[in-house]
Structure 1
Amino acid sequence: MKDNLLGKFLKFSYGSWVGLIIGLFTTMLVTRILPPDALGKASMFDLFVQVCMILTIFGTDQAFVRFFYEEQSNKRGALLFNSLRIPLFATIVIICLIVIFYQPITLFLFDKESLLLAFVIAGGIFAQLLFRFAQLVIRMQQKGNMYSLLQIFQKLFNLCLVISFFFLLGANFEVLIFSTLITLILLNIIAIYFGKQFWSIDNLAIKNVKHSQREIIKFGAPFVLTIFISWLFEAFAKIAIRHWSTFDELGLYSAAMRLVALVMILKTTFSTFWTPVAYEKFEKRPQDKDFFRNITIIVAFAMYLVAILSIAAKDLIVILLGREYQDAAIIMPFLVFMPIFYTISETTVIGINFYKKINWHIFIAGMACGINILGNWLLVPDFGALGAAISTAISYIVFFTLRTIISLKYFKVKYPLVRIYIMALIVTIYAYFAIIIDNLWFVILLSFIPLSILIVLFYKDLKLIIKNRVTLVNRK
């Protein structure tokens, strides 16, 4: 019997929750053994690897996901190799350029010239590329348990390696980037082994694949600009802090991002679980729009609930970071808007994705990115990391709005938009008071107001969804 949606979600999510616990312990350790500027430099490494990944992968990962269920099951390995050819070639080119121009690159990223660090960056890009596709193979087969185990291994390996490299290298940022690289290599070995039927070289000989390499590139190419703009949209805050502020402020911003780990876990887990489920549902029952509306209601309620609780507990969580990172608590409340509105928009953007109107993603990401850049330009020089967080919050609300409005042109669903925006206003007000009030227990007590409003707004729909679900199970 097929797993129900809740069962699938739990399989995909338990790795995130276990990983969250390990990750919090790692964060507590890292912020006590490393200064904020080291965390800032390590975040620049992550940033650079991400942008190189966008350029090398050329949107072929999106094509692999979109064409997976349309391809015959015995030819999906050939689809994987067709999707990998261009990225592998582009990665080799990027690596050569990094080695040739290692001096300005490493100087900008780490404030020091180092050929060794250039090779570490190159290795990180190659390892991240392979892991991206290795994860997709497991994800698209809906192997939730294996996906969760990979997430747990990732956190465990990283924790062990951070401790090991700290004793070898001392309190240097290299501890974090070396740990990241070795962790990716180990994860690739595990993920490729458990998906070995897809990675077998015999798949190279398979002919008459439904989706050729040309089709893959044609579908994926528009995503390059879209994803790059999306990356710039998400990453510009760090770039702005690096340019207009200090590595210490960048470290505080990175630490604050770790404080919203619970909300980010929901974002990542849901997006991972939702994509294959949504496509499969649309292929089988495209007229079942109540399904998509109900998912939006559940996701909106869950995201706001966790966000409010995270803001309420921010001063408790920040204790884990150590004295040097106390200011991260001021930055954190507005950062919750990023995972909230990204995750909800994943349920409301489906019209664009289902009907392959992918060029809209360029427009949406471009508009949101422009607002984010303007916001950072205005706020970061005066307010540092806090200004970057506020700019990020505003731009993600715009991002959600554009995604939803344009999606409804192609796939009309009665989303609870008024209630979503009401809660956005309520959480904004609560975030503001959580910043200016320097009393932990009063902030916690104040959280009962947005929590009560949230329950009142969504109670009726949630009760109906649960009732219909129980009725359906009883009929079976």
Structure 2
Amino acid sequence: MNKKTILSYAIGPIGSGILGLISLPIITWFFSVEDVGRISMLQVVASFSVLLFCLGLDQAYVREYHEVKDTPELLKLTLMPGLFLTMLAYSLVFIIKPTLVSEWLYEIPSVYLSVISITCFILSIISRFLSLVLRMQEKALAFSMSQLLPKIIFLIFIISTVWLGFKKDIYTLVTAHFLSILAVFLVFSWNTRKEWLASFKYRFNWLRFKPLLLFGLPLVVGGLASWGLNVMDRLFLRGLSTFAELGVYSVTMSIAAVATVFSGIFNTIWAPLVYKWVKNEEMNLSKIDEISEHLLAAIYFIIVLSGLFSWVLPFFLPKEYAAIQYLITPCLLAPLFYTLSETTSVGIAIARKTSYSMFASILAMLSNAVGNYLLVPEMGALGAAISTAFSFWFFYILRTELSCKVWRDIPRAKSYVVITVLLGFTIISSLFSHINYLSVLIWGLLFITGILLFSKSIKLALKQSKVLVN
């Protein structure tokens, strides 16, 4: 994969991050913190639907793409079962009670909110597979543009609502979210039209479907556990706290998502690239170790810089969100530790031992459930952030050790020490946030330590930046 392709992939996450950074203050200033909390529940259930109803076949599509001759047939075999199950399940829910979805998600009985939310779930399933088509075909620019468009649609709709004086409530937020999902579905459909149109000429081959299902089914359990690991914090805040706490936490996670733009770029590129190396017998083990080391360095400095400068966030948000300055750093740990685990756990996918991923996800999810149950009632959003950060630390170690068991022994002592130090000092800094000088002292010392610890990665980054400039 050349630099041009990588840069094309980067346009989407970077542009999405910038647009998210623009829209976030607008949402927090003009919509209630409770409605911000409610819209996060839509996103939670949408991700649940994708994980549950895809049956793990989205991962099977990625794994087998370079191994099969007829990729349109592969798309049909992996997409159709999940799409059918999604439509069947939500149709039954709607028949039983038309307002059930909106009542559970938003505590508002509304047929409109139920219908539009269910439509979001169905479109998300289809868009998931169509995005994988672009990703595996390495149509990087088209993939990135499809990420940018929904953010642009969402921003335009929100600005129009504020400008024209329309009612600013959960109905507006859900409608804006629906329009953004519809936009990405239409763009993905157009950009992949040759692939999905070609799939219609194939009959559904049950013999070829069976091995795909056997590969994917363990990932359903693992995927649901991973989903639980990622959203356990919001579910416990929804059940044991208030929509206000959930709203503050959701905004913090949105800011964290902006700050972890490079994680999205890396996760998009990494798995298909490694599978391609395996197919072409180009696997370079030392290259994987080097990438993991440089990624560890990048994550280290992102966390440290977040700890040093998180105090500036309250200047851009309403006073109701002042606690974000104490939540942002622990909220960053989860997605960054997950991204780091993608490099060290690659052996699990290469060996096709997907049950090991399931095992790691289940154990980490259980630890997160226990942590949230103990901490959320007393500490609210901060308790959820600490519990989730710890669980992803545990998840990283589990995935790494299991990958070593089924593939090869990789150097990992340094990464274990670094992530443990980051986790420990993040928790200390958050718990004693009222002592400002202590937080600055901790992160300042860690910054200096990082310069000495990751000098090789820093030199490489400086060298690459000079190449890009020239």
TM-score for the superposition, normalised by structure 2? 0.92
C-alpha spacing 1:165/1:60, structure 2 compared with 1 (3 Å): farther
Query: What is the total number of aligned residue pairs between the two structures?
Result: 463
User: SS in structure 1 opposite 2:99?
Assistant: helix
Distance 1:441 1:163 in 2: 39
Distance 1:313 1:204 in 2: 53
Q: Is the 8 A contact 1:28 1:321 kept in 2?
A: yes
Name the stretch that deviates more: 26-35 or 420-429. Answer: 420-429
Distance 1:211 1:176 in 2: 44
Corresponding residue for 1:16? 13
State the 1:165 CA deviation.
4.4
The correspondence for 1:161, drawn from 150, 157, 165, is: 157
1:251-272 deviations in Å (ceiling 9; x for gaps): 0110111221344322222111
Q: Is the counterpart of residue 172 in structure 1 residue 175 in structure 2?
A: no
Corresponding residue for 1:259? 255
State the 1:21 CA deviation.
1.3
Corresponding residue for 1:52? 49
Q: Is the 8 A contact 1:364 1:403 kept in 2?
A: yes
State the 1:292 CA deviation.
0.8
The correspondence for 1:87, drawn from 82, 97, 102, is: 82
**2:189 aligned partner, one-letter code:** I
Distance 1:292 1:54 in 2: 28
State the 1:466 CA deviation.
9.2
1:39-86 deviations in Å (ceiling 9; x for gaps): 1111111112222222221111111111111112xx211211121110
The correspondence for 1:308, drawn from 287, 304, 308, is: 304
User: SS in structure 1 opposite 2:210?
Assistant: helix
Distance 1:210 1:9 in 2: 37
The correspondence for 2:39, drawn from 24, 38, 42, is: 42
The correspondence for 1:405, drawn from 398, 401, 405, is: 401
C-alpha spacing 1:268/1:318, structure 2 compared with 1 (3 Å): farther
C-alpha spacing 1:219/1:169, structure 2 compared with 1 (3 Å): farther
Corresponding residue for 1:391? 387
User: SS in structure 1 opposite 2:67?
Assistant: coil
Name the stretch that deviates more: 124-133 or 413-422. Answer: 413-422
State the 1:141 CA deviation.
1.1
Name the stretch that deviates more: 431-440 or 7-16. Answer: 431-440
State the 1:435 CA deviation.
5.6
C-alpha spacing 1:261/1:442, structure 2 compared with 1 (3 Å): farther
Corresponding residue for 1:377? 373
Q: Is the counterpart of residue 190 in structure 1 residue 191 in structure 2?
A: no
Aligned ranges for residues 139-288 of structure 1 at < 5 Å?
139-166=135-162, 167=164, 169-200=166-197, 202-206=198-202, 212-285=208-281, 287-288=283-284
Corresponding residue for 1:290? 286
% identical aligned pairs:
26
Structure 1 unmatched runs, 5+: 471-476
TM-score for the superposition, normalised by structure 1? 0.91
User: SS in structure 2 opposite 1:171?
Assistant: coil
Distance 1:445 1:383 in 2: 25
Q: Is the 8 A contact 1:263 1:303 kept in 2?
A: no
Distance 1:158 1:279 in 2: 35
Q: Is the 8 A contact 1:43 1:254 kept in 2?
A: yes
Q: Is the 8 A contact 1:71 1:209 kept in 2?
A: no
Structure 2 unmatched runs, 5+: 466-470
Distance 1:108 1:287 in 2: 48
